[in-house]
Amino acid sequence: MAQTVAQPTATSPVLPAALPLKAIAPWAAFFGILMLVLLYFVGAEQGATAVVSGEGVHEWVHDARHLLGFPCH
């Protein structure tokens, strides 16, 4: 029974190509704005700071509001 043993080579490991900043920047801005809007609706959409009248949005995010420690009622 013949067995072959792989010989280690002296090559460097293959690294993934770095992503250019110009490709990431629009997506980072988009998700940053999206997260700010979400943070507003969870943290401040109530009473005097409410953009949407009524309690609909507040009730939708009410549990998240308490989970994140924002003051509520």
Backbone angles phi and psi of 28, in degrees to 5? -65, -40
Q: Which residues contact 43 (CB under 8 A, 6 or more apart)?
A: 65, 68, 70
73 lies in the site for Zn ion, by CB under 5 A: yes
Nearer to Zn ion, 52 or 72 (CB): 72
The count of residues interacting with Zn ion (CB under 5 A) is 2
In contact, 61 and 42? CB cutoff 8 Å: yes
Nearer to Zn ion, 30 or 63 (CB): 63
Using CB under 5 A, which residues numbered 33 to 72 contact Zn ion? 72
* Contact residues: Zn ion, CB under 5 A: 72-73
